[in-house]
Structure 1
Amino acid sequence: MREQPPYLRIADVLRQRIANQEWTPGDRLPSRAQLAQECGVTEAVIRRAQERLIELGVLEGRVGSGTYVAEPRTRVQLLRSAECEQSEGSAFTADMTALGRRGSWESRSDGMVPAPSDIAQRLGIAEGDYCVRTAYEYLADGKPVQLTTSWEPYSVTAGTLAVLPEGGPYAGLGVVRRMAEIGIKVSRCVERPEPGHANAEEANLLGIQRGALVTRIQRTYYSDEGRAVETADIVVPAGLGEIVYELPVKP
């Protein structure tokens, strides 16, 4: 049997010390140099062990301050279903309410953003055509659990009250209901999930370790005429969110 890598062995040691309440949530761990001396390993091994525990949500790193025992964060269930966009209000807040959590989100929209090549291809428009780009950070009890970046062709909503997803009278209604308000029927949604690793910006926003496992979902909504009216990149950390698909079954 292959010997366990040193950093995994040390991760188990640190996790056991936390389980034994030597350190409790909110406590700052000793320096890497001190832990390396105590455990008889190098500081590099301690760093990798801590990074592993940060990925698992046991520890959290604070820039310029050190490494701390993380407050317990229960994974939340994020439902993907055919009905989620049809519900009254926000599907995310409804999901969180069902779990006894407080759901909220923060967003920022930028208008007239030229579409990069991959987004243009997904939307069926020319590279450089203008889009409205909106970045979302979804929160459960005030802590981030999901990131979404949405792109809508400016030509679809220009001159209407639905041009900004989170502004005007249709703010927060979701893509399907907003489009319906301007006479566009959204009839199809395609999602492509795949595993990945958090980049530096995502890790910073989500409070996780860079390189932590995430699920990326590429979502595109289509009108009944077959036109793509929105595409989005959704990022869910494996340690914070459980993605559940609920699909209708015809008898």
Structure 2
Amino acid sequence: MSQDSSPPPYLRVAERLRQRIQSGDLAPGDVLPSLAEIRTETGYSGTVGQRAYAVLVDEGLVVARPGRGHFVRSQEERPVLVRRPRVAAGSGSPTEAQLTVQGVRASWDSESTTARADARIAERLGITAGDPVMHTAYVYRADGEPVQLADSWEPMAVTGGTLVVLPEAGPYAGIGVADRMALIGIEVDTPVERVTARGASRAEAALLGTTPAAPVLAVERTYYDRAAGRAVETADIVLLGSRWAAEYGTRPTPADGPADAQG
């Protein structure tokens, strides 16, 4: 009795879509057929379509956009962006300022909600687990392409009841942690950052438009009140490794020249 040696259905569906992409029938940025459309066209279940797209995502040909569908991924290399941990006071959003000076248009989505600090965040903020915090989740884009994720936590004991309690709403929306804290009388230094390299999770990859396990820089950042020494904000930042280089330190400004000799 012979066995069927043909590829399983999900690989056949993946190959059909791969051929359309590689032939140029589907161009970078084009939306791919929905799972319902694949089911109608092929007669296979939605699970087959999901597995086919998982293969193409892992190959780097397709990007999954939560709530929007699957898109052909551009294979064009993007320029590397430079990230610095601090910008000059009054520059507004640090990420926007850094991208703008590099000739890139910055945009972002954010969502703020009150939450209770878990043990990990409480330790970083020097508060008790369960204490109220303002949690804000961000997706940052450079010229429309997602390049950075961030989750920020601020103790409500610091900002609660002030005009800066919502980082991205109100009269001081989007100006960055340092400038917002200055408005309530708190001066912060350059944040403390711990940077590691790892692979993107599947959820991070979907938001960043890359493949799972693609290299990312993971930054644990904490701002401290200079006078009191207490933490006033901590964040987990995920930077797409193919788009970012991190730069630390400040280049010295040369003197105008030797002073004139005195007679």
State the TM-score, normalizing by the size of structure 2: 0.70
Aligned residues: 215
CA-CA distance at 1:213 after TM superposition: 1.8
Matched, 1:98 2:101: yes
Moved more, 215-224 or 200-209: 200-209
User: How far apart, in 1, do the equivalents of 2:91 and 2:190 lie?
Assistant: 19
Check 1:198–1:76 CA distance in 2 against 1; reply closer, same or farther (3 A cut): same
Alignment of 1:124-143 (within 5 A): 124-143=126-145
1:165 to 158, 162, 167: 167
User: Which residue does 1:7 correspond to in 2?
Assistant: none
CA-CA distance at 1:24 after TM superposition: 5.6
Contact 1:138/1:147 (<8 A) preserved: yes
User: How far apart, in 2, do the equivalents of 1:66 and 1:151 lie?
Assistant: 30
Matched position secondary structure for 2:247: strand
Alignment of 1:29-108 (within 5 A): 50=56, 53-54=59-60, 59-60=62-63, 69-71=72-74, 72=76, 74-82=78-86, 84=87, 86-108=89-111
1:190 to 192, 199, 208: 192
User: How far apart, in 2, do the equivalents of 1:67 and 1:174 lie?
Assistant: 33
Alignment of 1:201-216 (within 5 A): 201-216=203-218
AA aligned opposite 2:225: S
Check 1:62–1:216 CA distance in 2 against 1; reply closer, same or farther (3 A cut): closer
CA-CA distance at 1:96 after TM superposition: 2.3
1:115 to 106, 114, 117: 117
User: Which residue does 2:49 correspond to in 1?
Assistant: none
AA aligned opposite 1:244: A
CA-CA distance at 1:49 after TM superposition: 8.1
- For the pair shown, the structure with the greater C-alpha radius of gyration is 2
Moved more, 73-82 or 224-233: 73-82
CA-CA distance at 1:50 after TM superposition: 4.8
Contact 2:199/2:213 (<8 A) preserved: yes
Q: Deviations over 1:70-107 (max 9, x none)?
A: 2235144132144x152422232232223332111111
CA RMSD, 1 decimal: 3.2
* Structure ranking higher in strand proportion: 1
User: How far apart, in 1, do the equivalents of 2:214 and 2:249 lie?
Assistant: 29
CA-CA distance at 1:141 after TM superposition: 1.5
Contact 1:85/1:175 (<8 A) preserved: no
Contact 1:188/1:223 (<8 A) preserved: no
User: Which residue does 1:179 correspond to in 2?
Assistant: 181
AA aligned opposite 2:83: L
1:233 to 227, 231, 236: 236
State the TM-score, normalizing by the size of structure 1: 0.73
User: How far apart, in 1, do the equivalents of 2:191 and 2:177 lie?
Assistant: 11
In structure 1, runs of 5+ residues without a counterpart are 1-13, 32-45
Check 1:190–1:161 CA distance in 2 against 1; reply closer, same or farther (3 A cut): same
Identity over aligned pairs, percent: 42
CA-CA distance at 1:249 after TM superposition: 5.5
CA-CA distance at 1:143 after TM superposition: 1.8
Contact 2:108/2:138 (<8 A) preserved: yes
CA-CA distance at 1:60 after TM superposition: 3.7
User: How far apart, in 2, do the equivalents of 1:95 and 1:249 lie?
Assistant: 16
User: How far apart, in 1, do the equivalents of 2:112 and 2:166 lie?
Assistant: 7
Check 1:219–1:129 CA distance in 2 against 1; reply closer, same or farther (3 A cut): same
Check 1:141–1:120 CA distance in 2 against 1; reply closer, same or farther (3 A cut): same
User: How far apart, in 1, do the equivalents of 2:108 and 2:185 lie?
Assistant: 27
Contact 1:191/1:220 (<8 A) preserved: yes
User: Which residue does 2:258 correspond to in 1?
Assistant: none
Contact 1:131/1:152 (<8 A) preserved: yes
CA-CA distance at 1:129 after TM superposition: 0.4
User: How far apart, in 2, do the equivalents of 1:188 and 1:168 lie?
Assistant: 25
